[in-house]
Structure 1
Amino acid sequence: MLRNKLKLLLIPLLTGLLACEQAFARLYDDVMASGYIRIGVYKDFPPYSFVKDGNPSGVDVEIARRIAEAFDLDLQLHWITPDENLEDDLRNNVWKGHYLDKDEENPLAMKHLADVMLRVPYDKAYAYKQDSLGYLINEQVVMKAPYQQESWQVAYDSNRLNAVRTVAVFQYEPIGVEVDSVPAFYFTSAMGGRMRNMTRHYPTPGLAFEAMQKGEVAAVMAMQSEIDWLLKQAGDPQYRLAENGFPTMGKQTWDIGIAIRQSDRQLGYAVEEVLDGMIRSGDMAELFASYGLRYTKPEFYQVMAEVGSEN
């Protein structure tokens, strides 16, 4: 009797879990048959993905449009609000969903997940990172298809600095950085902390750049594309690119790719083919240039070019 009661209790639970899986685990055939593809991009993240005059804009938004067009599908943008770390972003937006994002008709199901997530750091070591028990932390997702190489960049006010040949100048001149970012950690800890007192923290690189325009700081450090975008928006030759490196910083360049659910590698391969075509044809570089951004190919394409030049 008790066993039968337990069976009756488990049936709706298992049915609900299956419905949950079906509700958001859209495989390649499901996506193609649905008439639309949902692509995740970060919210309020210029020049990559943002809203301008009520319209979605940015290089990642344009890339998402190219992917949808290649499959003859409508595009649904899934706007991502960043969580504490990338693992949280992948869990909340690619394979599991946020516990607050429920479907009213099916409480066990998540209302929205991205079929593909853009602007994911492509790093094999991170992709195969293990927890303390030896389990893969990111076993539910696949990170692949690098489409851009990103790096760190400093812009400076030429009315205050003749040049930035070394970061040691920021022992004496203030620099603006985004709070809780790699540049923030670097300038408060490098060189024995001698630049800490000259480091100013701002909520976004854009606000740090505005502070430079107001004379509060002499320079700003952020990602290369962010700096390119801010310089283009300013349109003032007073603000220039520095050409220095960042000693003891560690990894200063990294590839950017996509993330898809581990269960749907077929969709990942299809998207990878679209991105590869854009890179090889030069369309990707032209897209970045249309936003005033320099474009650097991912490491794989750079290596292939080097091998080709040697042969």
Structure 2
Amino acid sequence: MLRNKLSISLISLLASLLTCEQASARLYDDVMASGHIRMGVYENFPPYSFIREGQPTGVDVEVARRIAQAFGLELQLHWITPDEGLEDDLRNNVWKGHYLDKDEANPLAMKQLADVMLRVPYDKAYAYKQDSLGYLINEQVVMTAPYQQEKWQVAYDGQRLDAVRTVAVFQYEPIGVEVDSVPAFYFTSAMGGRMREMTHHYPNPETAFKAMKQGEVAAVMAMQSEIDWWLHQAGDKRYRLAENGFPTMGKQSWDIGIAIRQSDRQLGYAVEEVLDRMIQNGDMEKLFAEYGLRYTKPEFYQVMMEADAER
């Protein structure tokens, strides 16, 4: 009798947990019927998504608003705390959830997931990456709808450097980078490590840029939009954009798109239509310009423009 009661209790618990997981993952019809859409954006990540004067702001926050408006839905922001890697972020926020991230109203249930996650690198090789057994690592999500191309950028202090025509200058002049980032790895390993001693590490691009203003470093390297943002905030022509490339770095530009659950491609298609319309009619470029940022269309649109020009 006791064993039967325990079995029934276990089955009930498993069923309730399953119900909680299913309640967290919503399909297209659920989203439209609910009256709201949850858009995943990274927290404290200017100029993309952050809080300013108590209000959510940033390029991705505004993109999320435009998507919600296009569907006639209320926007609910799902703030994402970065984990160790993109795979963890996708798992924790798009298709499964983190077991420690509980709903305060219901301690047995995980918090609801994002319906759509923004600022996801759009790369087919990564999307179809396999583990050692040949299984797709990201089989639970679909990465689609590129809406921006991002790249690495250097800004420098024009009172210390006349120009930055080659990264070789950073054998002699200090440069600030975000710790554990691609720029950090590049400047500590490229050119046989000859720039390592001149590479200064900071918690984020904002502190690196502040260090340049205070004279600690002569330049900063981060993503183009981040550099544009801090130059725009500084409003000082003393700080300039470098035009050099980064030899031996490998991939120096990449597309940014969205991630949705594998089980809800219909929602992904609907969001893709909104983003495509914003790109085609120039709204996306205007939005970036409002934040003082340059906008580069994703590779697909660039190829399409080149094909049209050849006709």
Which TM-score applies when normalising by structure 1? 0.97
C-alpha contact (below 8 Å) 1:101/1:112 kept by paired residues: no
Task: Give me the whole-angstrom Cα distance separating, in 1, the residues matched to 2:245 and 2:213.
Answer: 23
Q: After superposition, what is the alpha-carbon deviation per residue over 1:160-189, rounded to whole angstroms, capped at 9, x for unaligned? A: 100000000000000000000000000000
Aligned residue for 1:100? 100
C-alpha contact (below 8 Å) 1:93/1:113 kept by paired residues: yes
Deviation, structure 1 residue 13: 3.6
Deviation, structure 1 residue 101: 1.2
- Letter of the 1:201 partner, please give it: H
Deviation, structure 1 residue 18: 3.0
C-alpha contact (below 8 Å) 2:150/2:296 kept by paired residues: yes
Q: Kindly report structure 1 stretches of 4+ aligned residues shifted beyond 3 Å.
A: 1-7, 104-108
Aligned residue for 1:11? 11
Aligned residue for 1:207? 207
Deviation, structure 1 residue 104: 5.0
Report SS of the residue matched to 2:139: coil
Report SS of the residue matched to 1:109: strand
Aligned residue for 1:21? 21
1:191 aligns with 2:174: no
Deviation, structure 1 residue 5: 6.2
Within-5 A mapping of 1:45-60 = 45-60=45-60
Report SS of the residue matched to 1:293: coil
Report SS of the residue matched to 1:98: coil
C-alpha contact (below 8 Å) 1:19/1:109 kept by paired residues: no
Unaligned runs of 5+ in 2: none
Percent of aligned pairs with the same amino acid: 83
Aligned residue for 2:160? 160
Task: Give me the whole-angstrom Cα distance separating, in 2, the residues matched to 1:221 and 1:119.
Answer: 19
Deviation, structure 1 residue 133: 1.1
1:310 aligns with 2:278: no
C-alpha contact (below 8 Å) 2:175/2:199 kept by paired residues: yes
Q: After superposition, what is the alpha-carbon deviation per residue over 1:58-79, rounded to whole angstroms, capped at 9, x for unaligned? A: 0000000000000000000011
Report SS of the residue matched to 1:136: coil
1:294 aligns with 2:301: no
Deviation, structure 1 residue 22: 2.5
Deviation, structure 1 residue 108: 4.5
Task: Give me the whole-angstrom Cα distance separating, in 1, the residues matched to 2:116 and 2:266.
Answer: 12
- Letter of the 2:197 partner, please give it: N
Task: Give me the whole-angstrom Cα distance separating, in 2, the residues matched to 1:185 and 1:292.
Answer: 28
Q: After superposition, what is the alpha-carbon deviation per residue over 1:106-158, rounded to whole angstroms, capped at 9, x for unaligned? A: 55531121100000000011111111111111111110000000000000001
Deviation, structure 1 residue 250: 0.5
- Letter of the 1:161 partner, please give it: L
Within-5 A mapping of 1:27-38 = 27-38=27-38
Deviation, structure 1 residue 9: 4.6
1:285 aligns with 2:285: yes
Name the count of aligned residue pairs: 311
Q: After superposition, what is the alpha-carbon deviation per residue over 1:57-100, rounded to whole angstroms, capped at 9, x for unaligned? A: 10000000000000000000011110110011111111111111
- Cα RMSD over matched residues? 1.5
